[in-house]
Amino acid sequence: MLTLAMMTVGSTVIASKFIAGSMPPFFATALRFALALPVLIPLLLLQRERWPKLTRSDGFLLLLQAGAGSVGYTTLLISGLSYLPAADAGVIIGTLPAVSALFSVMVLGERPSARLLIAVGLATIGVMAVAWKGSGPLSLIGMACILGAVVCESAFILLNKRMRVPLRPLLQTTAMTVLGLLVSLPVAFLELPFAMPGSEAIAAVIWYALVPTVGGFLLWYGGAARVSGSEAATFTAVAPLTAVLLAALVLGEQIEMSQAVGVAAVMLAILVLTIPARLKTVPQV
């Protein structure tokens, strides 16, 4: 279940590649949330989840999380893939655990461990391996967008740790979907005249909405309930590997040595960082 969950996360890179260039990023993001919401709300009702009493600061944190982890991550990922091969983006997305841990040190004042420093070094090698084969300014723009998506997701994880009343997983996912839709809608309406989606882009948005957003959530928490936190954490290495493999199999991209080195480095960074850790959250996708 954990493997399948992380495979769905890796597939978001491929879906975003199909969307990029055919559908504006905020329009695609709003459509993704609009499609996921009718599935999440019945699940919420079936589970009889109760909304906890939140403080005003917690409500503000939820809004910031939606802006960063839901809207920022998705729009920057789609934008970056307009300029970058999916395999390169998959390598960069794999740096998320290391970047998130580094954020915790910088913002929360947690003590950096030797394990973290090694993981950050390996993640940097992975990104540099991709940058080494870059083909000019457009490639750099794409890398900046994908790194921005990683930073947004790291901000989401950091903001989630600051919540005084943490939400249960299904509530968290539904809240991010509702707020993400509200945040992305104003810009999505402005992008509407420029939306010329083909059948592949529409299918990719439907996949993104139903499989990673809903199915990935159910698979991840179903699997995580059956293993230890450290065991669950190691499965995040499946996401970048899946993205690179699907880039070759689905998109027909040729995987070069630099990309192979990059994905190996970020996978090793994840393993170094997470084997002794206790996973507290799962990336929002």
User: Which stretches within 209-256 are classed as H helix?
Assistant: 216-224, 229-234, 238-249
3-state SS, residue 154 = helix
**Which DSSP letter does residue 209 get?**
I
Query: For residues 80, 86, 91 and 96, what is the CA-based torsion angle, rounded to 10 degrees?
Result: 50
- Name which residue leads in pLDDT, 41 or 280: 41
Give the closest residue to 3 by CA, choosing from 230, 204, 238, 161.
238
Helix and strand tally (H, E) in the chain?
Answer: 14, 0
Cα(3)–Cα(19) distance, integer angstroms: 25
Is pLDDT of 279 > 60?
A: no
Percent of the chain with pLDDT over 90: 42
Q: What is the mean pLDDT of residues 244-263?
A: 90
- Name which residue leads in pLDDT, 80 or 232: 80
Cα(154)–Cα(69) distance, integer angstroms: 8
Band (171; pLDDT cuts 50, 70, 90): confident
CA atoms within 13 A on the CB side of 150: 25
Whether 98 contacts 153, CB under 8 Å: no
Supply the pLDDT for residue 150. Answer: 92
- Name which residue leads in pLDDT, 235 or 80: 80
Cα(105)–Cα(121) distance, integer angstroms: 15
Instruction: Look up tokens 């989840």; give the residue.
Output: 49
Six token digits for residue 158: 């950091």
Q: What is the pTM of this model?
A: 0.88
